A and B are shown apart, each in its own frame.
Chain A
């Protein structure tokens, strides 16, 4: 049954207005290979795959399957040609069952257009058995954990006889353990004859599973590499200059504890306890990183501290004063700096100028305010100095903030929040969707703030970032604090904690796993592995 398929992309160009998202990209996916597209966020990987999947029409270039040019007018055509795609944001209808989601668009019917879901259930079972998925065809998708939802997506593609499976940033939402399982599934699919296009910016995973690596930067193919290439080599190809993947930071010198959270509970409108009885503290001159898979209460935790959540119980003490129950403005005045997780939604006003965005918190205070008016000159003056200090790449501070790249937008937010004297600094997903160059800069600023003697709280779903910045690591799972562990705790233990195991259980399970497994060689540096978390080989 194995019909192998060779896929070629020749000179694919895609333009959005003046933006050149893909510039004459050539990629050849050999049959039965895992081909990785490596590139930073915004490099044009997803655009390329949406072209391949028929969602975008290419401005120029052609797609060849087994040497024959094809044109896709929509995803239907691509699927018919044997191409399946698992999107970064799952394309599943939450209120449908697994079977309904899998059937959708390729429904088996009885006479008269009536659905025949039994047929679909049988196929789901077949595929689940073959790859060892544990998926109930009649479960509602919204009730399933993300890892399982991803399997449903894979089943969806396999049911449609996909010979080439595109996985777009598939590990972004997974725990490290789920990620490892996914990599196994990919290998299994490969041995079953399915080619895989694996899109990622995470070097560790790319090296672990790829047969060929194509590196894309700013819409262009900048080269190919073998999976044996070193992480530094791959990183510099991806970024375009040599980057240091490890952050040189001094060990923390914690002083007195000034920030304390006690028994914090946040209740969502649905009645769910999204943050459930959490207690922790942060000392001055220390970074506490909050790790966890997305959606385990991190957002609500930071919002509760800032005063953005309505139903909060417990206590939040900064310098001995209660923050709970105070307005956001009062919390900010108490010296809290806050970088929200989604800068476009909560961090910036895209249509306002950079200069205005830089004083969103201080616009009503001297020197920016004058009576009921504002002083535009002071605002611009302030902008000029911030732009210099934070290396914001823009020709002028009066440009709209929305025109900046992700990294520079994040620098604007960070510059604003760090411009006040702080007693507490909270940064949520400080480098999400930010280019590697800016990541370095932002990380250094965060560490500098710590060294100034500010308690710092980082929330990140990227384990690499957590391990890089943290002096202590708190892991959240389903709104509960699984535990707080020191920096240097291994990636595997953290991963197990992110799946809900207590620190002790996680350490046990991890040791047991290593005793019995052969595929992991010894690592030269036990606990200092940072940016890429150590190499697999």
Chain B
């Protein structure tokens, strides 16, 4: 190849070839700025202008603490104005960035959420009949309510990271709850119940894994069917077995709350971190272990490779479908443990549909948390907070009808999944069965 031709001959001008388009053609996604601006306005009108004229009181110490921190007193009207102006400022900054065609940094929506929640809380408490709330209790309660969500979303992380969509989290939670109750009742030992819950969750997962991995049935459909199946099965067993002899079959002992001496008396964080049930401690351990496992170990590298590019994993001698099978099974066990929370920690008996759709909220937490165990944990915490707020607010008596408060967790879910924290990218092969060749 040594054709020495030839500078390109003249006569073929290309006026467009070197031009760079002005910024008018630049892409602008207005989703986040518009959403933030709308929420900011809502905050300004309701929390600010129409804000209550009381002083909201937040207790941050509980009775048994080392030392008592003073109660925080906030004039609700003033705080509402100030905070909503901050919110509008954040929204304005997002709009400004968009006009400059820059991406909204990740901290911005997160900061927005935090400020919004604070403003909302002050408004809510300030407008209550008894404007007094224990912040420590509120947060501790949120963590407690988030426990099954966290386990559920961890299950989702384990499954989706390996390429299988787990819609059956709800069924796994429910199966875990039921099995924990019945086994703990029969054996009179809640720890055996806990173990049995894990096994039950894993069994639900095995069905999912078998059908979706081996028989290539659509993963979503298998998941949905499993939810219905588990719901029907536990409902049937509940009315035929448990209700026939609740003494024998539906009265598990609760798992004890373990107080870690000294540490649990630290104000605010003591009750959150060091006054938990066994399941609560397991939750913290599970989040950390799954995170380290996924991102720091050989196992995790392989798992993520299988979920992102199974062909590549296969050509390197990694057994794709086996990896998927075991991960999905493990995910089921994790969700099963989460299910035991309902019957061994929250209350001491099983009722129909006791999981109440939390498996689906866990799925939302998984997406909100960007398929990351730690992200999912915080997302679950937010949903748990909304859930808890609902019950507390009913007690202190606020102007908001409790039915509306009951909607809150789901409203938060919708907003979150609609992309408040930017576009998230699922594992590339999630939901796609792997067939060799």
Instruction: List chain A positions with a Cβ less than 8 A from chain B.
Output: 50, 53, 55-56, 74-77, 79, 85, 87, 89-96, 100-101, 103-107, 109, 112-115, 156, 262-265, 267, 271, 273, 276-280, 311, 313, 472, 480-486, 488-493, 503-504, 507-508, 511, 514, 520-523, 525-527, 529, 533-534, 536
Q: Among B20, B29, B313, B436, which residue has its beta carbon within 8 angstroms of that of A104?
A: B313
User: Which of chain A's residues have a CB closer than 8 A to the CB of B7?
Assistant: 503-504, 507-508
Q: Among A100, A277, A484, which residue has its beta carbon within 8 angstroms of that of B21?
A: A277
User: Which of chain A's residues have a CB closer than 8 A to the CB of B27?
Assistant: 267, 271, 311
Stretch of B147-155, B168-176, B295-303 at the chain-chain interface = B295-303
User: Which of chain B's residues have a CB closer than 8 A to the CB of A115?
Assistant: 296-298, 301
B317 at interface by CB-CB < 8 Å: yes
Q: How far is the CB of B134 from chain A (nearest CB, A)?
A: 42
Contacts A/B (CB < 8 Å), 9 sampled: A91-B309, A115-B301, A271-B27, A486-B12, A489-B6, A526-B5, A529-B3, A534-B1, A534-B3
Q: Among A91, A106, A114, A271, which residue has its beta carbon within 8 angstroms of that of B311?
A: A91
Q: How far is the CB of B3 from chain A (nearest CB, A)?
A: 4
Q: Tell me which residues from 297 to 343 in chain B have a Cβ below 8 Å from any Cβ of chain A.
A: 297-299, 301-302, 304-305, 308-309, 311-319
Determine whether the beta carbon of A490 is less than 8 Å from that of B1.
yes
User: Which of chain B's residues have a CB closer than 8 A to the CB of A481?
Assistant: 14, 16-17
User: Which of chain A's residues have a CB closer than 8 A to the CB of B308?
Assistant: 93-96
The docked-state distance in angstroms from the alpha carbon of A74 to that of B304 is: 20
B278 at interface by CB-CB < 8 Å: no
User: Which of chain B's residues have a CB closer than 8 A to the CB of A472?
Assistant: 12
Determine whether the beta carbon of B17 is less than 8 Å from that of A75.
no
Determine whether the beta carbon of A278 is less than 8 Å from that of B8.
no
Determine whether the beta carbon of A276 is less than 8 Å from that of B20.
yes
- Mostly, the B contact residues are loop
Determine whether the beta carbon of B305 is less than 8 Å from that of A75.
no
Known: A55-B436, A481-B14, A529-B3. 8 other contacts (CB 8 A): A96-B305, A104-B301, A115-B296, A115-B298, A265-B21, A280-B14, A489-B6, A507-B6
Determine whether the beta carbon of B304 is less than 8 Å from that of A93.
yes
Determine whether the beta carbon of A113 is less than 8 Å from that of B309.
no
Determine whether the beta carbon of A114 is less than 8 Å from that of B296.
yes
Q: How far is the CB of A118 from chain B (nearest CB, A)?
A: 13
Q: Among A109, A480, A525, which residue has its beta carbon within 8 angstroms of that of B17?
A: A480
Determine whether the beta carbon of B8 is less than 8 Å from that of A507.
yes
The docked-state distance in angstroms from the alpha carbon of A109 to that of B3 is: 53
Determine whether the beta carbon of A526 is less than 8 Å from that of B298.
no
- Which residue among B14, B302, B308, B315 has the maximum number of chain A CB atoms within 10 Å of its CB? B315
Determine whether the beta carbon of B4 is less than 8 Å from that of A526.
yes
Instruction: List chain B positions with a Cβ less than 8 A from chain A.
Output: 1-9, 12, 14-21, 25-27, 29, 296-299, 301-302, 304-305, 308-309, 311-319, 428, 436-437
The docked-state distance in angstroms from the alpha carbon of A86 to that of B48 is: 63
Determine whether the beta carbon of A511 is less than 8 Å from that of B4.
yes
The docked-state distance in angstroms from the alpha carbon of A113 to that of B26 is: 46
Q: Please, which residue of chain B has its CB at the minimum distance from the CB of A101?
A: B312
Q: Among A95, A101, A273, A489, which residue has its beta carbon within 8 angstroms of that of B8?
A: A489
**Count, A-B residue pairs, CB within 8 A:** 178
Determine whether the beta carbon of B20 is less than 8 Å from that of A277.
yes
User: Which of chain B's residues have a CB closer than 8 A to the CB of A489?
Assistant: 5-6, 8
The docked-state distance in angstroms from the alpha carbon of A533 to that of B436 is: 38
User: Which of chain B's residues have a CB closer than 8 A to the CB of A525?
Assistant: 3
If A91-B316, A105-B316, A504-B7 touch, whether A277 touches B12 (CB-CB below 8 Å) is: no
Determine whether the beta carbon of B19 is less than 8 Å from that of A263.
yes
Q: Please, which residue of chain B has its CB at the minimum distance from the CB of A116?
A: B298
Q: Among A156, A279, A490, which residue has its beta carbon within 8 angstroms of that of B3?
A: A490
User: Which of chain B's residues have a CB closer than 8 A to the CB of A262?
Assistant: 16
Determine whether the beta carbon of A76 is less than 8 Å from that of B5.
no
Determine whether the beta carbon of A490 is less than 8 Å from that of B6.
yes
Determine whether the beta carbon of A520 is less than 8 Å from that of B14.
no
Determine whether the beta carbon of B15 is less than 8 Å from that of A279.
yes
- Mostly, the A contact residues are mixed
Q: How far is the CB of A533 from chain B (nearest CB, A)?
A: 6
Q: Please, which residue of chain A has its CB at the minimum distance from the CB of B309?
A: A93
Determine whether the beta carbon of B301 is less than 8 Å from that of A485.
no
The docked-state distance in angstroms from the alpha carbon of A305 to that of B7 is: 30
The docked-state distance in angstroms from the alpha carbon of A536 to that of B314 is: 38
If A79-B317, A85-B315, A91-B309 touch, whether A483 touches B14 (CB-CB below 8 Å) is: yes
The docked-state distance in angstroms from the alpha carbon of A115 to that of B295 is: 9
Determine whether the beta carbon of A527 is less than 8 Å from that of B3.
yes
User: Which of chain A's residues have a CB closer than 8 A to the CB of B299?
Assistant: 113
User: Which of chain A's residues have a CB closer than 8 A to the CB of B25?
Assistant: 265, 267, 273, 313
If A91-B312, A107-B301 touch, whether A277 touches B8 (CB-CB below 8 Å) is: no
The docked-state distance in angstroms from the alpha carbon of A100 to that of B437 is: 24
Q: How far is the CB of B418 from chain A (nearest CB, A)?
A: 17
User: Which of chain A's residues have a CB closer than 8 A to the CB of B313?
Assistant: 93, 104-105
Determine whether the beta carbon of B2 is less than 8 Å from that of A514.
yes
Determine whether the beta carbon of B12 is less than 8 Å from that of A484.
yes
| Nearest 5 CB-CB pairings of A with B | A76-B317, A279-B16, A105-B316, A271-B27, A91-B312
The docked-state distance in angstroms from the alpha carbon of A482 to that of B18 is: 8
Q: Among B3, B296, B316, which residue has its beta carbon within 8 angstroms of that of A523?
A: B3
The docked-state distance in angstroms from the alpha carbon of A107 to that of B312 is: 15
Q: How far is the CB of A383 from chain B (nearest CB, A)?
A: 33
Q: How far is the CB of B296 from chain A (nearest CB, A)?
A: 6
The docked-state distance in angstroms from the alpha carbon of A91 to that of B297 is: 21
The docked-state distance in angstroms from the alpha carbon of A104 to that of B309 is: 12
Q: Please, which residue of chain B has its CB at the minimum distance from the CB of A106?
A: B316
Determine whether the beta carbon of A492 is less than 8 Å from that of B3.
yes
Determine whether the beta carbon of A527 is less than 8 Å from that of B316.
no
The docked-state distance in angstroms from the alpha carbon of A481 to that of B19 is: 10
User: Which of chain A's residues have a CB closer than 8 A to the CB of B311?
Assistant: 89, 91
User: Which of chain A's residues have a CB closer than 8 A to the CB of B12?
Assistant: 472, 483-486
Q: Please, which residue of chain B has its CB at the minimum distance from the CB of A510?
A: B4
Q: Among B17, B316, B436, which residue has its beta carbon within 8 angstroms of that of A482?
A: B17
Determine whether the beta carbon of A104 is less than 8 Å from that of B302.
yes
Q: Among A277, A493, A521, which residue has its beta carbon within 8 angstroms of that of B19?
A: A277
Determine whether the beta carbon of B19 is less than 8 Å from that of A485.
no
Determine whether the beta carbon of B305 is less than 8 Å from that of A93.
yes
Q: Please, which residue of chain B has its CB at the minimum distance from the CB of A515?
A: B4
Determine whether the beta carbon of B317 is less than 8 Å from that of A109.
no
Determine whether the beta carbon of B309 is less than 8 Å from that of A492.
no
Q: Please, which residue of chain A has its CB at the minimum distance from the CB of B306?
A: A93
Q: How far is the CB of A227 from chain B (nearest CB, A)?
A: 16
The docked-state distance in angstroms from the alpha carbon of A262 to that of B301 is: 48
User: Which of chain A's residues have a CB closer than 8 A to the CB of B312?
Assistant: 90-93, 101, 104
User: Which of chain B's residues have a CB closer than 8 A to the CB of A313?
Assistant: 21, 25
User: Which of chain A's residues have a CB closer than 8 A to the CB of B304?
Assistant: 93, 96
Q: Please, which residue of chain B has its CB at the minimum distance from the CB of A520?
A: B2
